Chains A and B, each alone.
Chain A
Amino acid sequence: MGLGDARERPELPVVGHRKDGGLGWITTRLDELVNWSRMNSLWPMPFGTACCAIEMMATAASKYDQARFGMERMSFSPRQADVLICAGRLPYKMASVIRRIWDQMPQPKWAIAMGACASSGNIFDAYSMVQGIDTLIPVDVYIPGCPPRPEALLYGLMMLQEKIRGESVFDRELHERLRAESPEATGRPNLAPPAIDEVALPFGNSTKQNRVSGLVATSAPARPSDRQP
């Protein structure tokens, strides 16, 4: 039932849809059941690299206790995990690793970028750092902070739960776009190269931090409009 059939024979209505296109009673209840079970037993794949990993461990410990959310079973094998929590900064040397771990996770899978480094690269706008893991994997929730407090991580997990609550197994477009296994995307970045360059552009004050001490000017400013007169 459901997904495969709907894709092969699009002219048939999916079970439960009313003729006016809205969802029926059975489908909403089924969605609620599926989403409730998914969101309350998310098994995190803790991809912890740096300081945020310590806050993630603190969230798993007694005081903040993510077991209340059904997440105490940290799955270190990606093949049994639901949500990849990238906690910490990610250098390019690690990029192929996170992409591989993401590819190994079966659908349905979600990703949380915990912390500013995973969201956008943070203060490490330098030669070795990935400027945000959303260049590599599709991210569902971004949690700002350096590091985010355990409460912030829990809030992010709750936001993810809200997002899951809004999903529907009958949403064909969602499934084709996101929830279908896509082997051809293995090992590929999430954003196209021009988009990667654009999101990685420095902004604000970091465009002006091009001079080292005194004697040597090193790199050119990032954008021509930033050149000092």
Chain B
Amino acid sequence: MSERRTVEYNVSRSPELGMDGRPVRMPVLPIGMEPELVGEHMLINIGPQHPATHGVLRLVLELDGETVVKCTPHVGYLHSSFEKVGEYRMWNQIIPLTDRMDYLAPLIYNCAYAMAVEKLMGVEVTERCKVTRVICMELDRIFSHLLWIGTTGIDIGAFTVFLYTFQERERIYDLHEAFTGARVTPSATRIGGMMADLPAGWTAALQLFVDTVPRTLDEVETLLTNNNLWIGRNRDVGVIGPDDAINYGLTGPNLRASGVDYDIRKDRPYYDYQTYDFDVPVGEHGDCYDRYLVRMEEMRQSLRILRQALDRLPDGPMNVDDPRVILPGKSDCMSDMESMIHHFKIVMEGVKAPPGESWFSVESSKGELGMYVVSDGGSKPVRWRVRGPSFVNISALPRMVEGALLSDVIAVNASLDIVLGEIDR
């Protein structure tokens, strides 16, 4: 046989330290090899059906040993033509479509869409509706982060966290179901208000949730935060600096972990977010570990907002008192001719928006969710565009994993918190 060749790489066995005792920050490369001995690169295809891609994402990796030389994500395996279907639906009929894009935080999408159309129409919702929507959005932020930490735990190897967080998520599912009747796809908003008022006992159940979920968050942190394995898999992995992060359009916890203090709730506040007392966690290293810490802290800050929102939830009507927008009540329709006519027109022709357009951004759990609606005066949009944060976040993945190890690709992909429904729409 030909003589043996040993290949030395520039890391020691300890995953945190390099040969010189300092943490390894550079790509893992063979040292001292002549170029022709490097050998062929290997092509690995991950997905689209894969447990660790968080959906139907396809990654084609060109590997030199275990080091990623090139990473090409391919998306579109869940392209469900939402934007096209939305052009054939009336304004209120699009709300069930919004649930199905980010199915991990559906209430945020419902609220963002309703807010965009209400801005277009110039409809101002009631105070109770505003606070309720803030409650819904923060609840779903926690909902999404709980799933994120569960599935990221599975990807990295910490399976127990998944069971704990899904147990908490079941309680949020119960809240969704009590409010709207559906667990995953609530469709809770309508143009001008919500689909129904909060049921009796809902705020008490939510208060109980808010009071008891920190215990689970503490357990998860005990399991993970100071865990050597977790740190080893996540620290200094997938680093992206602040300028690159802005240039690549990263938003949400991914951007904040790189040190950029951009949160739409603070910079372009809506629904009186400036009056709520909460902090926005900002990381400094831009690695997976910082993204983890930012999201864990975001959950706690969301709980803070929820407590304040529950305290300030006013009584009063939930929906706007405008019969051209909101369906009149049943007893009114049965007794009053005008209400009957309004009901008929809204159901048969749909709510009509004036010509114009509107872009509305909210801080979704994944980043900046932009809803762009264009109307020509009819009851259906000319264009309904969703700027899904995960779409732009995942386009930065090649930049973050080139030079890293294959196992880091899974860790970085998990830390970006993507949901394929909003990537592919």
Contact = CB atoms under 8 A, between A and B. Distances in A.
Interface string B34-55: 0000000000000011110001
A55 B81 contact: no
A57 interface: yes
A213 B375 contact: yes
B103 A50 contact: yes
Nearest to B97: A123
A46 B185 CA distance: 21
B80 A89 contact: yes
B233 interface: no
B376 A215 contact: yes
Q: Which of the listed residues B55, B56, B424 has the most CB atoms from chain A within 10 Å of its own CB?
A: B56
Nearest to B151: A57
Interface stretch (A10-18, A29-37, A91-99, A132-140): A91-99
A206 to B, nearest CB: 9
Interface stretch (B117-125, B310-318, B378-386): B378-386
A214 to B, nearest CB: 4
Contact of A212 (B55, B99, B173, B380): B380
Interface residues of A, number: 41
A129 B382 CA distance: 22
A124 interface: yes
A182 interface: no
Given A126-B84, A212-B382, A214-B377, A54 B184 contact: yes
A3 interface: no
Contacts of B55: 48-50, 53
B167 A49 contact: no
Interface string A59-96: 00111000000000010100000000000110101100
A186 interface: no
B48 A58 contact: no
Contacts of B147: 54
Counting contact residues on chain B (CB < 8 A from A), the size range is 35 or more
Given A47-B49, A76-B50, A124-B85, A147 B382 contact: no
A212 B88 contact: yes
Contact of B167 (A54, A63, A88, A97): A63
Interface in A113-172: 123-129, 146-147, 149
B384 to A, nearest CB: 10
Nearest to A216: B382
Interface of A: 46-51, 53-55, 57-58, 61-63, 74, 76, 88-89, 91, 93-94, 97-98, 101, 123-129, 146-147, 149, 209-215
A76 B154 CA distance: 14
Nearest to B78: A49
B49 A97 contact: yes
A147 B379 contact: no
A222 to B, nearest CB: 13
Given A89-B78, A91-B80, A93-B76, A123 B170 contact: no
B100 interface: yes
Given A61-B162, A126-B81, A213-B378, A51 B100 contact: yes
Q: Enumerate the 8 nearest inter-chain pairs by beta-carbon distance, A residue then B residue, closest first.
A: A213-B378, A61-B166, A51-B103, A213-B380, A214-B378, A126-B81, A76-B51, A212-B87
Contacts of A74: 51
Interface of B: 48-51, 55-56, 76-81, 84-85, 87-89, 96-97, 99-100, 103-104, 147, 162-163, 166-167, 169-170, 173, 183-185, 375-382, 420-421, 424
Contact of B85 (A49, A54, A126): A126
A124 B183 contact: no
Contacts of B173: 58
A129 B81 CA distance: 8
A58 B177 CA distance: 15
Contact of A62 (B78, B84, B163): B163
Contact of B84 (A47, A48, A55, A127): A127
Given A61-B163, A123-B96, A91 B185 contact: no
Contacts of A101: 49
B48 A129 contact: no
B376 A128 contact: no
B77 A91 contact: yes
Contact of A124 (B56, B80, B103, B167): B80
6 contacts: A61-B167, A62-B163, A91-B424, A97-B56, A126-B84, A212-B87
B87 A50 contact: no
A62 B167 contact: yes
